[in-house]
Amino acid sequence: MTIFCNPISSKKRFLPFRKLNEVYSFSLFEKVSSVSASDWECVLQNRTLFLALPYLTLVEQCIYVKLNFRYILVYYKNKPCGIIYIQIANFNIDLFSNQIDTSKFNRLNIFKKIISSNKNDGHLMLITCGNNLLSGDFGFLFDEKINKKTASELLLNIIDLISKEEKLRGIISATLIKDFVKPLEPYKLFESKNYFQFIVDPRLIIQVQSNIKTLDDYIESFSKKYRKRAKAVLNLFRDVESRVLNTEEIKKYEIELYDLYSEVFERAKFKLLKLPQNYFSDLKVLYPQTFFIKAFFYDKQIVAFVSSFLIPNSSIEAHYIGFNYEFNAKLNLYQNILYSLINDAIINKCTSVNLGRSAAEIKSTVGAFPENLYCYIKPQNTISKLFLNPFIDLLNPSPWIPRNPFK
């Protein structure tokens, strides 16, 4: 497919129906409020909550200080056929200061100079097709009538145009398309556009069999060794009260919840951005019947919480968690949080639980199985190419040993 559209500057790039070729065009928006809701929904068709305009509105309102956003509607003969969601982030170049081998660049001192002079500024700019707050492929959707090759061509050419128009190529920058359970097709097309494919930490999925009616049933399917361990872990929670918080309670405990979230965030391997304090309460207001926060109380104080989305009769999607690391050592908070999510899935007749990324080995001990996630990254200039390997190293899967607790 030939693309005829050229980069343009100024606000002309926000003109509607910019032609890509004789049949395809696109419209670009900076604010979700400017997007045609009917055209967006025509493509979305409720296929995912995380590309719905109400959710994207909340993200824009909460995270606007740290991210810029671009929303793209793709048209076939002026009929909506695709949607693309982009986040643009600056993050601290000092993130790489301990990971780059500068020895072979001593003559120019290129990295030492960049890092030392800019370590307190966000000089690494990343354009992400997808959502940096979530694990999953929430960057684009196309009408199912469009074949994969055409969809990939449209996606790559539009992202490339937007990258040029954002003037990302003039500074240290990269383009990232994230998190796919299966590699995107055709791979040679991505390769020809200078994208590198790599794998990040897998997401961990619990499958709940139809014969499982209670958490006890689920644990009984474990081998003797893991069944004994599970009961010991759950026994530590005998003096812990768990409670699903309503909207008022989330606001009441907002500071405590945020402090617990911050404890976990500060220990993360890659910290691109931190949620604002009001994120959880705003999300509950937006999705009162879908989004939940369960808090865990010990000795009358909140020591942990887990947030999740309930997709009725389908799945529970774990979102953010928080816990006190001191109490975690005493009460095994983390594993009990995982069992709590499994129990919620059983009660709500869900067939799976998406536990997200990180802590893969622990999650596998409660019955989760890994799904690899494929990403594609394109450095935008010579300097950013030198940062490519350290960047991928940050995102590459951590070594872990899969466990299988089942008989």
Domain boundaries, the chain: 10-201+373-395, 209-350
3-state helix, strand, coil in the chain (%, to 5): 40, 25, 35
Q: What are the backbone dihedrals phi and psi of residue 274, each rounded to the nearest 5 degrees, phi first?
A: -110, 140
What b-and-e string marks burial along 294-333, b requiring 16 or more CB atoms within 10 Å of the CB?
bbbbbeeebbbbbbbbbbeeebbbbbbbbbbeebbeebbb
Residue 232: Cβ-neighbour burial (10 angstroms; 0-12, 13-18, 19+)? exposed
pLDDT over 90 for what percent of the chain? 73
At residue 78, does pLDDT exceed 80? Answer: yes
Are the C-beta atoms of residues 78 and 68 closer than 8 Å to each other? no
Q: What is the pLDDT of residues 236-274, one digit of tens each?
A: 999 999 999 999 999 999 999 999 999 999 988 777 788
Question: Which residue carries 């671009």 as its tokens?
Answer: 70
Q: Which residue has the higher pLDDT, 340 or 163?
A: 340
At residue 93, does pLDDT exceed 70? Answer: no
Which pLDDT band holds residue 380 (cuts at 50, 70, 90)? confident
Q: Which residue has the higher pLDDT, 9 or 209?
A: 209
Which pLDDT band holds residue 234 (cuts at 50, 70, 90)? very high
Instruction: Give the pLDDT mean for 81-85.
Output: 98
Strand partners for 24 = 76
Domain 209-350 superfamily per CATH: Gcn5-related N-acetyltransferase (GNAT) (3.40.630.30)
Collapsing DSSP states into helix, strand and coil, what is residue 296? strand
| Top-level class of domain 10-201+373-395 | alpha beta
Which tokens in the block code for residue 156? 């790559």
Average pLDDT, the chain: 89
DSSP string, 71-134: EEEEEETTEEEEEEEEEEEEE-GGGGTTT---GGGTTTTHHHHHHHHHTTS--EEEEEES-TTS
Packed helices 333-347 and 224-235: angle between N→C axes, nearest 10 degrees:
100
Q: What is the pLDDT of residues 360-369, one digit of tens each?
A: 999 999 999 9
Question: Which residue carries 């990343």 as its tokens?
Answer: 126
At residue 120, does pLDDT exceed 90? Answer: no
Question: What gap in Å lies between CA 157 and CA 66, rounded to an integer?
Answer: 26
Per DSSP, which regions of 272-358 are E strands? 291-298, 301-311, 315-323, 352-354
> Cβ neighbours of residue 60 under 8 Å, at least 6 residues apart?
31, 32, 69
At residue 122, does pLDDT exceed 50? Answer: no
Question: What gap in Å lies between CA 301 and CA 304, rounded to an integer?
Answer: 9
CA distance readout (Å), 57 to 33, 37, 63: 8, 12, 10
Judging by DSSP bridges, how do beta strands 291-298 and 124-129 pair with one another?
A: unpaired
pLDDT at 97: 52
Instruction: Give the pLDDT mean for 13-28.
Output: 94
At residue 323, does pLDDT exceed 60? Answer: yes
Which pLDDT band holds residue 114 (cuts at 50, 70, 90)? low
Question: What gap in Å lies between CA 328 and CA 281, rounded to an integer?
Answer: 25
DSSP string, 1-13: ---------GGGG
Which pLDDT band holds residue 105 (cuts at 50, 70, 90)? very low
Q: What is the pLDDT of residues 331-355, one digit of tens each?
A: 999 999 999 999 999 999 999 999 9
Which pLDDT band holds residue 89 (cuts at 50, 70, 90)? confident
At residue 82, does pLDDT exceed 70? Answer: yes
From the list 24, 130, 9, the residue with the least C-alpha distance to 82 is 24
Q: How far apart are the first and last CA of the chain?
A: 52
Strand partners for 307 = 293
pLDDT at 366: 97
The pTM of this model reads 0.90
Which pLDDT band holds residue 175 (cuts at 50, 70, 90)? very high
Total length of the chain = 407
Position 89, amino acid: A
pLDDT at 228: 97
Which pLDDT band holds residue 102 (cuts at 50, 70, 90)? very low
Instruction: Give the pLDDT mean for 222-228.
Output: 97
Which tokens in the block code for residue 135? 């694990």
Question: What gap in Å lies between CA 154 and CA 138, rounded to an integer?
Answer: 16
pLDDT at 106: 46
Q: Which residue has the higher pLDDT, 259 or 185?
A: 259
Instruction: Give the pLDDT mean for 19-32.
Output: 96
At residue 112, does pLDDT exceed 80? Answer: no
Which tokens in the block code for residue 207? 């499958």
Question: What gap in Å lies between CA 263 and CA 258, rounded to an integer?
Answer: 9
Per DSSP, which regions of 181-233 are E strands? 196-207
Sign of the CA dihedral running 136, 140, 141, 146: negative
Which tokens in the block code for residue 306? 């887990």
